[in-house]
Amino acid sequence: MARSQRSQALLQFGLFCGIILFVNILANSFYTHFDLTEEKRFTLTKPTRKLLEALDDRIYVQVLLEGSFPAGFKRLQTATREMLDDFRSVTGYIDYQFEDPLQGSTEEIKSRQKALLEDGIAPVNLRVNEQGESSQQLIYPVAVFHFGNREVAVNLLENQSPTLMPDEVVNNSVSLLEYKFANAIKKLQAQARPAILFTRGHGELAALQTTDLERSLHQFYDTDRITLDSVLRLEPEKCALLIIAKPQGGFSERDKFKVDQFIMQGGKVLWLIDRLNADLDSLRRAGRFVPSDYPLNLEDMLFKYGVRIQPDLVLDMESSKIPLQVGVVGNAPQFQLFDWPYHPTVLPVGRHPVVKNLDRVEMKFCSSIDTIRTKTPVTKTALLQSSRYSRLQFSPVDLNFEILRAAPRPEHFSKGPQTVGVLLEGIFSSNFENRVSEAMLEGLKQAGLNFRNTSAPTRMMVISDGDVAANFIRDSEKKEWLPLGFNRFENITYANKELMLNVVEYLIDATGVIEARTKEVKLRLLDTVRAREEKTFWQALNLGLPLLFLGIFGAVFMWRRKRRYAG
């Protein structure tokens, strides 16, 4: 009898081990999880899932974030691995491997670093504090996506802004992983490169002024410049986005008609418009300056589409700095940095995917934008606004440096946030409705088109500053320039380039992958004061509660054992 019970117990134990082994095999074969977080941080968006489900060939991801890191970067490393596992749970065509590019002999490391630098992949110099000692460590927070003979490098770490704490930088980086990975896969699969055209012939930004922006766009897009007089028509099939960047001369009715009918066909336009002719160089040369209106002849078009750029200047207490001479020591002039309210550092507003998690954007002599009621349904979304400490100066205005003699007072900046960037989405009415000339109709006839009164559903963005997309030219003859958004006086890089890339991506993107940018991973920081005050209580609870449960379990077990075998 005892032998039979022992055999039965061994059989049950073996069966239990077999079930455990089978469950583990299944767990390794199928990756799944339950997302119980409030913000659904572990749930992929529908456009991302749709993109992954359509994969029919293998994508290999080479993650260079391997090694020993501080806790924050360890979190980024773990989040990257988990995101790739989430992608693999949808499709079996994702393979990945973590590598340490700084592992090996000195020669191997130098050779690898040189190869990465040639591919545009530079390390981040991380400062590490351990046991009161500070040291520096190079890391490569980069994932390289390979698809056939094409590859895309994805920066896992958001720009470290002076206005954000390190934990916030890592948190923003984690929340954008899905968007960055999905966007890389989408771009690798694209059969054709969309074309982005910059207009010229009206005093727009020169090619050297948009060098940094165009270099960033060239990874996925073709860019070129177009003179509107030289073409019969603009076609959305050949121009994914038209950028009108800081024109200074007037647009003819013929040029406006071509842009208008491009929009009516569903074309997208990015308007970067300066209303007033104001710049710091002119003010420095003259000491005082009265800016005039640019004779653009675009006011009626923008009004018809739903916005009006006012003839004013936005002043903001939250602004970038400029140097001014405050004295001379010997023969050397002495300079000091002053807050310059005509250069607002605009903080993007809302949770729209274009501006979510973006840091401040530097603007120069921008104007306020009003939205206008339109005949057709157009959604108007303010994406860029000055701070609540703002005010307006209406044209004509006498610009000078006298404003810096006294410290700015908040009561003088009481107009509240001023909109300087608006996204327009919907169906637009033609600016030439009921006023098409015979010459315009003849031009359409030659191009094989009919006049359209209303547009197909489309999008456009209006920003009241053309310099938001311009990099600083250090030497025009040598063609030397600084990165877009870099302020050479403050040695700070603002988020101008990220804004421009996001706007371009959103206006062109038809798959909705950019929706993943709206995901938010909330940063739940430890209350250090409360933790210090309640340290003893929680230590006692964590140590005593398990022992208490163990004691109760042991007492119940012994009581049942005595009761069972007492007879």
Q: Each residue of 342-399: pLDDT tens digit?
A: 999 998 888 888 888 788 999 999 999 999 999 999 999 999 999 999 999 998 888 8
pLDDT for the residue numbered 3: 58
Residue 5 — very low, low, confident or very high, per pLDDT cuts 50/70/90? low
Pick 403 or 265 by higher pLDDT. Answer: 265
The class that CATH gives domain 192-518 is: alpha beta
| pLDDT (mean) for 323-328 | 79
Residue 406 — very low, low, confident or very high, per pLDDT cuts 50/70/90? confident
Could you tell me the two tokens for 272?
Answer: 């970067």
pLDDT for the residue numbered 401: 86
Q: How many CA atoms lie within 13 A of 493 on its CB side?
A: 12
- Strand segments, DSSP code E, in 2-80 are 59-63
pLDDT for the residue numbered 324: 84
- CA 222, 226, 231: angle at the middle one, nearest 5? 120
Residue 286 — very low, low, confident or very high, per pLDDT cuts 50/70/90? confident
User: Can you tell me the distance from the alpha carbon of 71 to that of 255, in angstroms, rounded to the nearest whole number?
Assistant: 57
Q: Where in the chain is the domain with CATH 3.40.30?
A: 30-187
Mean residue pLDDT of the chain comes to 84
Q: Where in the chain is the domain with CATH 3.40.50?
A: 192-518
Asked whether residue 409 carries a pLDDT value surpassing 60, the answer given is: yes
Pairing of strands 480-481, 473-475: antiparallel
End-to-end Cα distance, the chain: 19
Asked whether residue 9 carries a pLDDT value surpassing 70, the answer given is: no
| pLDDT (mean) for 324-351 | 84
Residue 565 — very low, low, confident or very high, per pLDDT cuts 50/70/90? low
Pick 325 or 305 by higher pLDDT. Answer: 305
Could you tell me the two tokens for 442?
Answer: 């003849």
Asked whether residue 202 carries a pLDDT value surpassing 90, the answer given is: yes
Pick 5 or 89 by higher pLDDT. Answer: 89
| pLDDT (mean) for 485-499 | 90
- CB-based contacts of 485: which residues, under 8 Å, 6+ apart? 361, 362, 471, 493, 494, 495, 496, 497, 498
What CATH number was assigned to the domain covering residues 30-187? Answer: 3.40.30
pLDDT for the residue numbered 40: 54
- pLDDT, one tens digit per residue, over 130-189 is 555 566 777 888 899 998 888 888 888 876 544 445 667 777 788 888 888 888 888 888
Least confident piece of the model among 244-248, 327-331, 482-486, 501-505? 327-331
